[in-house]
Structures are given as structure tokens and as C-alpha cells.
Chain A
Amino acid sequence: MQDSGQISTAISVAFPLALPQIRLMFARLVALLIIIFARLITAVRAIWLGSDPVPEQRVYFANHASNGDFVLIWSVLPGKLRNKTRPVAAADYWLTTKLKTFIGRSVFNAVLIDRNPETRAGDPVQQMADALQAGDSLILFPEGTRNMTQTPLLPFKTGLFHLAKQRPDIDLVPVWIENLNRVMPKGKLIPIPLVCTITFGQPMRVQQDETKADFLERAQSTLLALSETARE
């Protein structure tokens, strides 16, 4: 007993991050620094059109063009909401290096799902539903990958529909992120300073007898319409 205590003390002195509390504090600090940096680069502003920043459980679904997307959504959410809002991100991206794992797991507290159906162990929709069950809100990018095309939105993956079917009681809030794709395009390490806006639209829910195709079509056009309002 004594030995193992000494060993763990020795470990925590040598690697303070091995201690969960210190790891958590450090993760919080990193999160704060990332948010300050994101605000410095983008002067991001939230526009609430049709929904309010209130502590309600929600699924935010947004366009995806940059790795900074959920950082930006996160940084405009009031602190109380932020701590209860988890991004859904790709395990096959965020678990590749130690640094990314630390940021994905500890800093962003992401729900990490494996995008590859061949290799994955769990059902991603179930993972998201579990997070909702635990009382957290989610940030979801239904395009499934960063949009590098000229079109404003890629076709949505089906996860949003299945999640909405499982939890029809939870509001789905469309979120349009404007300009971040220019701040930090895929493959660029240094961001450039440009003003960004995050527009939160009117919440939607899946209707009783709505088909998958109809629902996804409606969700996409809602987000597209929001992007046009946001630009005006």
C-alpha cells in the first residue's frame, strides 16, 4: 500500500498531468487560452435569431469548414452553457496524437465517435444519446467532414435524424458560422484575423411521420436560409 502511494506521488511529481485534478485544471486553463486566442483573431459575435442563450438542453447543428468551428461556438456560449455543451468530433482525427487526444478529450470534453463503420466498436448515435442522457448539450456537424468545396453545405449525414428520432423532446438549434473557413482553412497552421459571426436560428424538431430524407432536407434548408439571413 505504502509503496504504491509513494510510487503515485513520485509519478505525480514527475508528471503532474497524471493527477486527474491537476489535469482538469490544466485542461480548463488551456480551454480558456484557446477561447481568448479565438476571440482575439475573430472578434466573434453571437447573433441570436429565434433562440436565446438559455440553459436548456439542446443539440446545436452547424456548418463545418474549420477545426476552429466548435471553439468559436463554444466561446460565444455563456459560461454556464459552455460547461454543459460537448462537441461531437471524429475519434479517427482527435485520437491520433497525444496532444490531439488531450485537447479532444480533456480540453473540449468531446464525444468522440469513429466515422468508419468497419472499425468502430460502438454506435455513434448511441454515444450521442448517452451524452444527452447525462444532461449535456451537443454541438454536431451533420456534414460529417470539413467542407472544402465552393458549395455552402455538403449533404447531411444521417446521424442528426437518428438522434432526433431517439430524443424528439430535445430542440435542434441551427447554427451558422460565418467566415471562419477564411480564418483558418484546412491545412493552414496560422490563422489570419477576420471578423466572424455565429448565428443561432429558430429551434426545430423531427415531426412525427417525417421521413429521413424529408427531415434532412428540411434541416439543410433551414441552415442555408439562416446563412442568408446572417449575411444581410
Chain B
Amino acid sequence: MADSFLFLLGCVLAVLVVATGIGRYLVFKSGPDGPSLTVDNLNARINAWWAMVALTALAFLAGKTGVVVLFAICSFAALREFLTLTNIEIADHWAIAAAAFLVLPVQFIAVGMNWYGFYSIFIPVYAFLLMPIFSMFSGETDNFLVRIAEAQWALMISVFCVSHVPALLSLDIPGFEGRNLFLIFFLVVVVQSSDVFQYVWGKLLGKHKIAPKVSPSKTWEGLIGGVATASALGASLYWITPFTVLQAIGMSVVITIMGFLGGLVMSAIKRDRGVKDWGHLIAGHGGFIDRLDSVIFSAPIFFHIVRFYWDVH
């Protein structure tokens, strides 16, 4: 386990070193006007990746608690970004305060306790019914349905979905005991690399737009190239998972396509609310949701497929 972890960390660092080298080379090669905006953004993204990899590696070293806490923090940051774009009003203040300071920690504590029966229904059932009750007591009915629906969406996306990443640690797979962290590694690496490969293939070959009204930069070439490359990477990682090579490819295709579609859905929301990015905290990438959108849409599906076919329950 420790050997594999160090080997994988070494691979990730090697990729980052190469990417950093390319980024520096592009700056070096750029003319007297300095690097273009694309190159600047590329370097900002690579720098942010160093920080994200460092934090994730630290969390992995700290074990289960570290990973749960890391994703709880990401979840809080995502919730903060999501709520910013909603129509919530003073009337919803207590419902939202409860969502951020009660529902969120309770969800992640339940994940940390491996309490599947609770964390899988807490937000879709209890928060879903109780939050509108809070808002209703304020007596403010203007925009009521919009407000409660947005609040529930904020919780589902930023808390419920995100919590399914660390929830992978609570799966009980025979012959895979103590290695569940690799499921998270597989999910995050395949989905995030798919984002990167889609970007690269899109820049190189992209011609045919998939959803020009939602996200003009997404092309068929980018999607197919990205999914294929990321799935090949997923296949090469089969040995750290409970999957066979074919299963690893199948899983990779499912999660990268879910991730792609998730990115489009989150873009549609941004477009609806007239913003370019969800936030500004991850330099070059935007906000936490900008970086996590594909993981948010793939994590629960990945979790449930693995649970259905591999987990003993």
C-alpha cells in the first residue's frame, strides 16, 4: 500500500514537473510582449495544481480523517460559492445557517463513521423536508419555490455529492481491505485528467461544438480525445483498483462522461446567473466548483456502481 502510494505520488509529481517545464519554456519562448494570456493562465493552473496535489497528498498521509476533513473543507468552499449565486433572502437565513453549520458537518461525520444508512438519505430526505419548513416559518412567500429549490440544490451539489468522494472509504470490498484510498485516487485522477485532456485535445483539434449555447469551448474532438486518453490512463491504473482492465476502462468512460456532462450543467448555471467563474480562490481555475464540477457529478455514480457490484452489503 505504502509502496504503491509513493510510486503513484512520484508519477503525479513527474507529470507536474514536466508540465511546469513546458509552462516555463512557453514563457521563455514568448516574444518581447511577454507570454499570451493563455500561457499565463496555463502557468497559473499548473501552479495551483502543485498546491492541490500537495494538500491532497497530505490528506492521504493523514488517512481517513485527513481525507474526510479535506473534502469537508472543499464542500464548505463549494457551498459558499453556490449560495452566492442563489436568490436566498433574509427569510431563509436560519435555514441556510443550519445547512452550512449543521447539515454539512453532520454529513461528513456520518461519512467518517461509515454510516451509509444515514449519509445516503440525510440530505435528500431530512434536509430536503426540514429546510423549507424553516423558510416557511419566516412568512416570506415571494419567490418561495425558487428559494427553497436553490437551497436544496446548493446542498445536494456542494455537500451531498462532494461527500461521496470520501464515502468511497466506507465501502467494504473483499480482498481490497485497507486500500480504499486508491478508489479516490482512481476517481480523482481519471476525472481531473479527463478535464485536462479535453482541454488539450480541444485546443489542438477542436472544431465541432457540442453545446455552443452552454459552453462554446467544449468540442466533440476534445470530448472524444479526453475520454479516450483518460480511459487509457484509467486502464493503466487497474492494478490499484478492485477492477479488471476492462472494468477499469468501463468505469473510466462512465465517470469521464458524467464529469463532462456535469461541467456542462454547471456552466449552464453560471450562464444563467451571468458569471464566468464560481469563485476566485484557485488561481487560474476559478472557484472550487469550477475545479470540482466533474468530480461532483461522477463521484456519486462511481460510488454506487462500486457499491452495487463489489461491496458486500
Contacts and interface: CB of A to CB of B under 8 A. Distances in A.
A45 B280 contact: yes
A192 B84 contact: no
A185 interface: yes
B308 interface: no
Q: Is the interface of B mostly helix, strand, loop or mixed?
A: helix
Contacts of B290: none
A127 B303 CA distance: 63
Q: Which of A45, A185, A193 has the most CB of B within 10 A?
A: A193
B270 interface: no
Contacts of B304: none
Contacts of A179: 84
Contacts of B312: none
B83 A193 contact: yes
Interface stretch (B18-26, B40-48, B96-104, B141-149): B96-104
B80 A43 contact: yes
B93 interface: yes
Contacts of B79: 193
Contact of B93 (A41, A188, A195): A188
A68 B84 CA distance: 17
A194 B280 CA distance: 13
A22 B280 CA distance: 38
23 contacts: A41-B80, A42-B80, A43-B80, A43-B279, A179-B84, A182-B88, A182-B90, A185-B90, A185-B93, A188-B90, A190-B93, A190-B97, A190-B101, A192-B83, A192-B88, A192-B96, A192-B97, A192-B100, A193-B79, A193-B100, A195-B80, A195-B279, A195-B287
Nearest to B77: A43
A190 B88 CA distance: 15
Nearest to B104: A193
Contacts of A194: 80, 83-84
Contacts, number: 38
Interface of B: 76-77, 79-81, 83-84, 88, 90, 93, 96-97, 100-101, 279-281, 287
Given A43-B77, A43-B280, A195-B80, 8 more contacts: A188-B93, A190-B93, A192-B88, A192-B97, A194-B84, A195-B81, A195-B279, A195-B287
A191 B101 CA distance: 10
B280 A193 contact: no
Q: Is the interface of A mostly helix, strand, loop or mixed?
A: loop
Contacts of A192: 83, 88, 93, 96-97, 100
Nearest to A187: B90
A194 B151 CA distance: 13
Given A45-B280, A182-B88, A193 B93 contact: no
A215 B100 CA distance: 43
A94 to B, nearest CB: 24
Interface in A184-211: 185, 188, 190-195
Contacts of B280: 43, 45
A182 to B, nearest CB: 7
Contact of B76 (A42, A185, A188, A193): A193
Interface string A8-37: 000000000000000000000000000000
Contacts of A43: 77, 80, 279-281
A193 B93 CA distance: 10
A46 B100 CA distance: 24
5 nearest A-B residue pairs (beta carbon) = A193-B80, A195-B84, A192-B96, A190-B97, A185-B90
A144 B80 CA distance: 30
Contacts of A195: 80-81, 84, 279, 287
A188 B90 CA distance: 9
A24 B308 CA distance: 60
B33 to A, nearest CB: 24
